[in-house]
Amino acid sequence: MSEHERHEGDTNHSHGLTRSDDLAGVSDLRLIWAVIINQILTVGEVIAGIFSGSVALLSDAAHNFNDANALLIAYIARKIAKKKATERFAFGYRRAELLGAVINLTLLAVIGLYLVYEGIRRFFEPEEITGWLMAAASILALVVDVGTALLLWAMSKGSLNVRAAFVHNIVDAAGSVAVLIGAGAIIWLKWNWVDPVLTLVLSAYILYQVYAMLPKAMRILMEGTPPDLNVQALVDGIQELDGVEGVHHLHVWELDEQNRAMEAHVVIAPSEMDRFDEIKQQIKETLFHDFEISHSTLEFETSEQGCEDDEAAVIANM
């Protein structure tokens, strides 16, 4: 290998070091069925909500309509994410699902805030509620929500986008149980105030879920460092390798939920240049096995050369 090739940035992947794809083999037909049954449920709940006078039921209908749209977005995003990398999109379209997750969670936040408004309004403007119709609709909604959650369970483990859609339906199922209990309180105890209370409780849980998941999606899109990654430990792990004198200009980010990437300048001793390939392979194996980084771009330089890059924000020879 020539001296120029040794010093040139190395952009090869760690061949053979691949992580399992949690979404492999999962049928997109599940998402289509989830969209269909949630749209049917939405129509049924709207009709029942109008005739029963239940704001909780109408709010749940709006939530289910949002779920159906969110699932449709999830389906489209998953199809786009499977497209292969191109010259224009060298990393492929894997972040399409993250964009879908941001859209889903944003819509969920809007629904949550709307439920807060409706719940408070009903305290000041109470209406007569037909409890038996409210109960019947909530039972139907519970069956559909559980069925949709089962369809999405296998996919929810490996995708933030589908997990957002899965949480939509878990929230719906819990809401349907609460509405059913509330319907019983209205039928037998005449507690009409339960309806807006249930609405506020449901909206609080929805907004909590948005708070928990939206920052994660935004951090990945902003190429933030994985929160569970100890950067100092990573630097120390590389510098402990024989022949490595320092690491700087280090950046670690997530390509998506399953893949991490890193770029860095690695300083090696001039006397170790004949071990260049061995040192490079050791670094890549350390990155993958100890820090789950499957893609690394490493630029090598010697301590005699110095660094031509004067970037201020660096982690230099710690």
- The label of the residue with tokens 């050369």 reads 305
**The two structure tokens encoding residue 199:** 């609405």
As a whole number of angstroms, the distance between CA 171 and CA 209 comes to 9
Q: What pLDDT is attached to residue 161?
A: 57
Domain ranges in the chain are 29-221, 226-302
Tokens 């995003």 belong to 77
pLDDT tens string 44-92? 888 988 888 887 887 777 777 767 776 777 677 767 767 777 778 777 7
- Placement of tokens 């860095």 in the chain: 264
Could you read off the pLDDT of 15-44 as tens digits, one per residue? Answer: 322 222 333 334 667 777 778 888 888 888
- What are 295's strand-pairing partners? 13, 261
- State percent of the chain over pLDDT 90: 12
Residues 6+ apart with CB under 8 A from 304: 270
> Any idea which fold 226-302 has?
Alpha-Beta Plaits (3.30.70)
Distance CA 73, CA 101 (A): 9
Least confident segment among 61-65, 111-115, 232-236: 61-65
Q: With respect to CATH, is domain 29-221 assigned 1.20.1510.10?
A: yes
- Res 305: pLDDT: 67
- Return d(Cα 159, Cα 214) in angstroms, integer: 13
pLDDT bin (cut points 50, 70, 90) of residue 251 is: very high
DSSP string, 143-183: HHHHHHHHHHHHHHTT-HHHHHHHHHHHHHHHHHHHHHHHH
Note the Cα 259 to chain centre separation in Å: 13
For the stretch 121-137, pLDDT in tens is: 888 888 788 889 989 98
What is the tens place of the pLDDT at every residue in 259-306? 899 999 999 888 888 888 899 999 999 999 999 898 888 888 887 666
- Name 107's Cβ contacts closer than 8 Å, sequence gap at least 6: 66, 69, 70
Has residue 309 got a pLDDT over 50?
yes
- Write the CA distances from 109 to 13, 191, 206, 207, integer angstroms: 39, 28, 7, 6
